[in-house]
Amino acid sequence: MGIVFIILSIILFTSLGTVKIPFKNVILAFANNSDNPLYDRIIFNLRLPRVIGTLLIGAILAIAGNDFQMIIKNPLADPFIIGISSGASFGAVIYTALKSVYGIDLPFGIETFAFIFALIATIITFSLAKEGKKIPVVSLILSGVIVGFVFNSISTLFTVLFWQNLLHVNFWLMGSTGNIVWNDLIILTIFLVLQIAVNFIFKKHIEVVAMGDEISIFSGINPEKIKLIVLTINVFAVSVVVSKAGIIGFVGLIIPHLVRKITGPNIYYSTIGSMIYGGIFLGFADLFSRYLFRPTELPIGVTTSLVGLLFL
Amino acid sequence: MKLLEIKNLMFSYNNHFNLEIEYLYLEKGEFVSIIGPNGSGKTTVLKLLTLLEKKKSGEIILFDKEIENYSKKELFKKISVVPQEFFTSFDFTVEDIISTGRIPYETLFSKDEDIIIKTMKKTNTLKFKERVYNTLSGGEKQRVMLTRALVQNTDILLLDEFVSQIDPGYTQQLVRMVKEESVKNNKSVLSIFHDVNLASLYSDRIYIFKEGKIKYSGKPEEIITEKIMKEIFDIDCIITEHPTKKKPQVIFEY
Ligand SMILES: Nc1ncnc2c1ncn2[C@@H]1O[C@H](COP(=O)(O)OP(=O)(O)OP(=O)(O)O)[C@@H](O)[C@H]1O
Ligand SMILES: [Mg+2]
């Protein structure tokens, strides 16, 4: 059922845009049977990588959110609470400042900078939160807030100083899947597969950790080890997403929360549910962002946040 | 045979509560209870035995081996626990929770399913199988947690006030069941009780804790006395003998 849903939404999302392509032509193009080279170019060069990328990103964010909520035992946690987003913004701002303000030529692109600083911010958050061998949830959240605050302050300082050069960074940070190309889909797919693999292999372990630290220990499990494995894979996956598409909030918060209302905390069902509905939700958000405001776009992060507001 | 021995154990929570146990042991097939006032360190002993807290000094020997040298998995094939209380933030079902008792064995074949169902029948929790744990009553939750420990099928059962919220009918049934585990299946039970009469009726031996130390230990008839009850709990009571079991029973003074 989920598969049918996804295929139908891919057709829908590919059809709609600044140039509207009839469903029939989309299907013909997919079937390699098209007679309209312009449609083909729009579909295969512009729209399809974006649509599939959006689905993958929605899936990754929602699965990450589900894992975070389960592992830190907070049904309304967001994967961004541990500093990933502020780290990535900081990386992007620093990159642009170095490049366009100071004219320094850098060997990596803005994506790589965002990715590296997302990881650095998370590592700082974890080391601040660490008490002995344990990482208590409350200190993790508090450290996330502190790290976010520090990184954001520096980013803001730079933005105030050099606002002309940094305006487009802010736009980029609010999220867009518009720059996704075919090549990006490979790395996104790899991380989605890794996320699913970890969840399926450690199903029982993740569930018992979500039940509580003591019951994990009484079941012969080291909860800190499981948390580390699950958080690491998700931090990497989300950092890759941020480097490709900026900061897209609320998907990782709302979707898994709603999915679990239906599936319960069972890891098989909640992971698959988060994947499907996270992808489709973000697909609709992207469609909304680019279709309603055509020929220009609303950043997708703004759209998801607006939708998120409806739930609050 | 002594399965478990604690020797010269010292522990404190940030130096404000001190636990000192010179010697405590548990033999194979024994039913041993710990009683004592609130805050006397009973639960702390279980935390040390399950490595939730790390001792300062001393030895805890399980099957001739220091427990710190066990891997978590091996340790919890030997020890199962019913904690004093258990909450969870998510809507896990009763079956989800009980099946975690089989995780140390890392197999989820039909054999495990059989053990789970059989044990659930014994504790009369099968009818809650699909229920969300959080929606059960306090006593029902405790029955589920006992079932979880029983499916773990360990030589040693550690119970922390496992019938504190259970009605008289189930209390009798569950304590009897645990007693049977010790008598028939040779399991060793270390159980914390607040109900002195229950402890006296079912235990082979009792340890009485106060202020982090073992004040008395021995057979119920040796240490459940008016004088000791007054000293430990500051209660005025009369001790009578159980008409059939010949164990001391406490009757409160008005
Ligand atoms: N994590 C902790 N940190 C600091 N002090 C603690 C901690 N846990 C327990 N204590 C203190 O240690 C003492 C012993 O606690 P413990 O839980 O062992 O008592 P208990 O005998 O089980 O009491 P009760 O009958 O109320 O369950 C108490 O004074 C308690 O306040
Ligand atoms: Mg206690």
Helices A48-71 and A203-211 cross at an angle (nearest 10°) of 50
State if residue B39 touches ligand 1 by the CB under 6 angstroms criterion: yes
Q: Is residue A270 part of a domain?
A: yes
**Per-residue confidence (pLDDT) for residue A132, from 0 to 100:** 78
Question: Where residue A150 sits, what CATH number does that domain have?
Answer: 1.10.3470.10
Q: Are the C-beta atoms of A202 and A230 separated by less than 8 Å?
A: yes
Query: Is the model more confident about A108 or about B122?
Result: B122
Structural domain includes residue A31? yes
Same domain, yes or no: A103 and A5 = no
pLDDT category of residue A34 using cuts at 50, 70 and 90: confident
Whether A25 maps to a domain, the answer reads: yes
Listed residue (B46, B41, B35) closest to B4, CA to CA: B46
Mutation site, B46, B67, B68, B72, interface A, largest A CB count within 10 A: B72
- Pick the residue whose CA is nearest to atom 28 on ligand 1: B39
Most confident option among A1-15, A120-134, B221-235:
B221-235
* C-alpha–C-alpha distance, residues B149 and A83, integer Å: 39
Q: Go through A93-102 and write b for each residue having 16 or more CB atoms within 10 A of its CB, e for each that does not.
A: bbbbbebeee
Of B52, B72, B91, the CB nearest to A214: B52
Q: Residue A266 gets which letter from DSSP?
A: -
**ipTM more than 0.90?**
yes
The DSSP secondary structure of A105-135, one letter per residue, reads --SS-HHHHHHHHHHHHHHHHHHHH-BTTB-
Q: What percent of chain A has pLDDT over 90?
A: 45
Q: CA–CA separation, A158 vs A89, rounded Å?
A: 11
pLDDT value at A57 more than 90: yes
> Helix, strand or coil for residue B71?
coil
Q: A101 near A165, Cβ under 8 Å?
A: yes
CA distance B20 to B22: 6
Strands (E), B121-195: 156-160, 188-192
- pLDDT band of residue B14 (cuts 50, 70, 90) is confident
Number of domains into which chain A is organized: 2
Q: Where in chain B is the domain with CATH 3.40.50.300?
A: 1-78+155-170+183-220
Q: Is the pLDDT of residue B107 over 70?
A: no
Cα–Cα dist B96/B85, whole Å: 17
Residues A89 and A22 in one domain: no
Beta carbons of A265 and B92 less than 8 Å apart: yes
**Does A220 contact B101 at a Cβ distance shorter than 8 Å?**
no
Reference B81, options A34, A123, A219, A206; nearest CA is A219
The verdict on the CB of residue B42 being under 6 Å from ligand 1 is yes
Boundaries of domain holding A24: 1-42
Query: Does the Cβ of B34 fall within 6 Å of ligand 1?
Result: no
Task: List the residue whose alpha carbon is closest to atom 18 of ligand 1.
Answer: B41
Question: Is A115 among the domain residues?
Answer: yes
Q: Name the token pair of B59.
A: 């030895």
Domain co-membership, A142 together with A7: no
Residue contacts between A and B (CB atoms, under 8 Å): 75
**Which residues of chain A make contact with B72, given a CB cutoff of 8 A?**
217, 220-222
Q: Tell me: the pLDDT tens digits for A175-211?
A: 888 889 999 999 999 999 999 999 999 999 999 999 9
Q: What six digits make up the tokens of A158?
A: 């730079």
A23 and A159, same domain (yes or no): no
CB contact under 8 A, A214 and B104: no
Whether residue A47 lies inside any domain: the answer is no
Ligand 1: which atom is nearest the Cα of residue B44?
Answer: 18
Q: Do A250 and A289 lie in a common domain? A: yes
DSSP structure class, residue B93: B
Closest CA to ligand 1's atom 30 = B39
Confidence of residue B149 (pLDDT cuts 50, 70, 90): very high
Residue with tokens 């802010």: A170
Burial-class residue B158 by CB neighbours within 10 Å (0-12, 13-18, 19+).
buried
Please tell me whether residues A178 and A78 are part of one structural domain: yes
B138 CB near ligand 1 (under 6 Å)? no
Ligand minimally distant from the alpha carbon of residue B160: 2
- B110 or A104, greater pLDDT: A104
Whether A30 and A106 share a structural domain: no
How much is the average pLDDT of A81-96? 87
Residue A176, SS3 per DSSP: coil
Q: Which of B78, B82, B153 shows the shortest CA–CA distance to A214?
A: B82
Residues A27 and A135 in one domain: no
- Report yes or no on A186 lying in a domain: yes
CB A204 to CB B81 under 8 A?
no
The burial of A183, by beta-carbon neighbours within 10 Å (0-12 exposed, 13-18 middle, 19 or more buried), is given as exposed
Partner-chain residue, chosen from A210, A212, A217, that has the shortest CB–CB distance to B50 = A217
Could you tell me how many residues make up chain B? Answer: 254
- Would you say residue A113 lies in a domain? yes
Contacts of A296 (CB under 8 A, 6+ apart): none
Q: Tell me, yes or no, if A189 comes closer than 8 A to chain B by beta carbon.
A: no
State the Cα angle at A252 between A208 and B95, rounded to 5°: 25
Report whether pLDDT(A86) > 70.
yes
Q: The tokens of A23 are what? A: 């469903």
Q: How far is the centre of ligand 2, averaged over its atoms, from the C-alpha of B38 (Å)? A: 7
3-state SS, residue A43: helix
Contacting residues for A256 by C-beta, under 8 A, at least 6 apart: A62, A63, A65, A66, A69, A270, A274, A278
The answer to the question of residue A272 being in a domain is: yes
Considering only CA atoms, which residue is closest to atom 9 of ligand 1? B44
In angstroms, the separation between the Cα of residue B245 and the nearest Cα of chain A is 35
- Specify whether the CB–CB gap between B233 and B193 falls below 8 A: no
Q: List helix spans (H) across A162-293.
A: 163-173, 182-201, 203-211, 213-218, 223-245, 251-263, 267-291
Q: What is the pLDDT of residue A178?
A: 86
Residues A114 and A240 in one domain: yes
Cis peptide before A295 (omega within 30 of 0): yes
Say yes or no for a CB contact (<8 Å) between A260 and B90: yes
Q: Coil, strand, or helix at residue A241?
A: helix
For B178, other C-beta atoms within 10 Å of its C-beta total 23
pTM assigned to the model: 0.91
Residues A92 and A218 in one domain: yes
Residue B76 has pLDDT above 80, yes or no: yes
Nearest to A188 by CA among A143, A231, A245, A146: A245
Q: Give the pLDDT band (50/70/90) at residue A93.
A: confident
Q: Is A268 on the interface with B (CB under 8 A)?
A: no
pLDDT (mean) for B130-146: 93
Percent of chain B with pLDDT over 90: 87
CATH 3.60.20.10 for domain B1-78+155-170+183-220, yes or no, is no
User: Are the C-beta atoms of A274 and A191 separated by less than 8 Å?
Assistant: no
Rounded average pLDDT over B67-89 = 94
Q: Would you call A157 helix, strand, or coil by DSSP? A: helix
Q: Which residue of B has its CA nearest to A257?
A: B90
Chain B residue whose CA is closest to A264: B91
Contact A282, A304 (CB under 8 A): yes
CA A170, CA A246: separation in Å to the nearest integer? 9
3-state secondary structure of B81: strand
